[in-house]
Amino acid sequence: MTTTATRAGGATPAFPPIWLRDNCPCERCRDPRNGQKLFGITDLPADLTVRDTEATADTITVTFGPDGHRGVFSRAWLEAHLSTSDGDGRTEAAKQLWQARDLEGRLPAADWAAYRDDPAERARVLRAVRDLGFAVLHGTPTEEETVLAIARTFGYPRETNYGTLFDVRVEANPGNLAFTGMRIAPHTDNPYRDPVPTLQLLHCLANAAEGGDSGLVDGFTAASLLRADDEAAFRILTTTLVPFAWSDASTSLRADRPLIDVDPAGHLREVRFNNRSMQALRLDPAATTAFYAAYRRFAEIIARPELLLTFRLEPGDCLVFDNTRLLHARTAFAESGARHLQGCYADLDALASALRTLEETA
Amino acid sequence: MTTTATRAGGATPAFPPIWLRDNCPCERCRDPRNGQKLFGITDLPADLTVRDTEATADTITVTFGPDGHRGVFSRAWLEAHLSTSDGDGRTEAAKQLWQARDLEGRLPAADWAAYRDDPAERARVLRAVRDLGFAVLHGTPTEEETVLAIARTFGYPRETNYGTLFDVRVEANPGNLAFTGMRIAPHTDNPYRDPVPTLQLLHCLANAAEGGDSGLVDGFTAASLLRADDEAAFRILTTTLVPFAWSDASTSLRADRPLIDVDPAGHLREVRFNNRSMQALRLDPAATTAFYAAYRRFAEIIARPELLLTFRLEPGDCLVFDNTRLLHARTAFAESGARHLQGCYADLDALASALRTLEETA
Question: What pLDDT, in 10s, does the model give residues B221-245?
Answer: 999 999 999 999 999 999 999 999 9
- CB crowding A175-206: b at 16 or more within 10 Å, else e: bbbbbbbbebbbbbbbbbbbbbbbbbbbbbbe
CA distances from A130 to A108, A225, A325 (A): 11, 21, 10
Q: d(Cα A228, Cα A226) in Å, to the nearest integer?
A: 5
Average pLDDT over residues A199-217: 95
Question: What is the bridge-based pairing of β-strands A309-311 and A214-218?
Answer: antiparallel
CB B319 within 8 Å of CB B214? yes
What residues pair up with B53 in beta bridges, in sequence order? B62
Distance CA B20, CA B29 (A): 12
Question: What's the rounded Cα separation, in Å, for the pair A58 and A77?
Answer: 10
Contact B19 A280 (CB under 8 A): yes
In chain A, CATH 3.60.130.10 sits at 92-361
B130 touches chain A (CB under 8 A): no
Cα torsion for B310, B311, B317, B318, to the nearest 10°? Answer: -10
Chain B residues within an 8 Å CB radius of A352: 253-254
pLDDT higher for A86 or B352? B352
pLDDT range class, residue B13, cuts 50, 70, 90: low
Query: Bridge partners of A257?
Result: A242
Other Cβ atoms within 10 Å of A117 Cβ, number: 10
Chain B contacts in chain A segment 300-319 (CB below 8 A): 300, 303
B113-129 CB burial, b ≥16 within 10 A, e <16: ebbeeeeeebbbbbbbb
What is the reported pLDDT for B269?
A: 98
Most B CBs within 10 A among A84, A88, A188, A190, hence the mutation to make, goes to A88
Is the confidence at residue B177, as pLDDT, over 80? no
Which amino acid would we find at residue B219? G
Nearest to B292 among A19, A247, A248 (CB): A19
Q: Does A73 touch chain B (CB under 8 A)?
A: no
Query: Which of A177, A256, A272 is the best residue to mutate to test the B interface, defined by the most B CB atoms within 10 Å of its own CB?
Result: A256
Q: How many CB pairs under 8 A join A and B?
A: 230
**Pick from A19, A248, A264: which is nearest to B258 by CB?**
A264
Contact (Cβ atoms closer than 8 angstroms) between residue A85 and residue B243: yes
**% of chain B beyond a pLDDT of 90:** 85
- pLDDT value of position A1: 33
B274 touches chain A (CB under 8 A): no
Neighbours of A127 (CB within 10 A): 17
* Nearest-neighbour CA in chain B from A300: distance (Å): 7
CATH of domain B17-80: 3.30.2020.30
CA geometry: angle B212, B215, B217, nearest 5 deg: 160
Q: How many residues are given for chain B?
A: 362
Q: Is the pLDDT of residue A241 over 60?
A: yes
Q: What is the mean pLDDT of residues B281-292?
A: 96
State the average pLDDT over residues A109-117. 98
Cβ-nearest to A282 among B81, B280, B288: B81
B350 with A263: Cβ contact below 8 A: no
CATH 3.30.2020.30 domain range(s) in chain B: 17-80
**Between A35, A160, A353, which is nearest B251 by CB?**
A353
Q: Are A282 and A250 in contact (CB under 8 A)?
A: no
Q: Do B288 and A176 touch (CB under 8 A)?
A: no
Task: Using CA coordinates, name the residue in chain A closest to B163.
Answer: A156
Task: Kindly tell me if the per-residue pLDDT of A176 is higher than 90.
Answer: no
Chain B residues with CB inside 8 Å of A182's CB?
38
Chain B residues in contact with A348 by the CB 8 A cut-off are 194
Closest chain A CA to residue B244: A88
- A296 in contact with B at a CB cutoff of 8 Å? yes
Please check whether residue B156 touches A, CB under 8 A.
Answer: yes
Per-residue pLDDT tens digits for B318-341: 999 999 999 999 999 888 878 999
- Checking if the pLDDT of A34 tops 90, the result is no
CA-based nearest distance B141→chain A, Å: 24
Contacts of B353 in chain A (CB under 8 A): 161, 251-254
CB A76, CB A250: distance < 8 Å: no
Q: Which residue of B has its CA nearest to A89?
A: B255
Contacts of B16 in chain A (CB under 8 A): 285, 288-289, 292
Instruction: Note whether A74 contacts B: Cβ–Cβ < 8 A.
Output: no
Confidence check: pLDDT of B2 > 50: no
Residue A60 burial (CB < 10 Å; 0-12/13-18/19+)? buried
> Measured between CB atoms, does B10 come within 8 Å of chain A?
no
Average pLDDT over residues B300-327: 98
Q: Using the beta-carbon criterion (under 8 Å), do A177 and B263 form an inter-chain contact?
A: no
With 50 as the cut, is the pLDDT of residue A2 above it? no
Q: Give the model's pLDDT for residue A13.
A: 61
Chain B, nearest residue to A30 by Cα:
B276
Contact at CB, B13 and A350, closer than 8 angstroms: no
B277 vs A contacts (CB less than 8 Å): 36-37
Does B23 reach chain A within 8 Å, measured CB to CB?
yes
Question: Domain A92-361 adopts which CATH fold?
Answer: Double-stranded beta-helix (3.60.130)
| pLDDT tens per residue, range A250-301 | 999 999 999 999 999 999 999 999 999 999 999 999 999 999 999 999 999 9
Q: Which of A253, A254, A285 sits opposite B14 (nearest CB)?
A: A285
Q: To the nearest whole angstrom, how far is the Cα of B10 from the nearest Cα of chain A? A: 12
Residues of chain A with Cβ-Cβ distance to B276 below 8 Å are 36-38
A42/B303 touch (CB, cutoff 8 Å), yes or no: yes
- B148–chain A Cβ distance below 8 A for any pair: no
Q: Which residue among B19, B251, B350 places its CB closest to the CB of A288?
A: B19
What pLDDT score does A10 carry?
Answer: 42
pLDDT tier at B1, thresholds 50, 70, 90: very low
pLDDT at A203 over 80: yes
Closest CA–CA distance from residue A97 to any residue of chain B (Å): 21
User: What pTM was computed for the model?
Assistant: 0.95
Contact A264 B241 (CB under 8 A): yes
A193 in contact with B, Cβ within 8 Å: yes
pLDDT digits 0-9 by tens, B20-58: 999 999 999 998 888 899 999 999 999 999 999 999 999
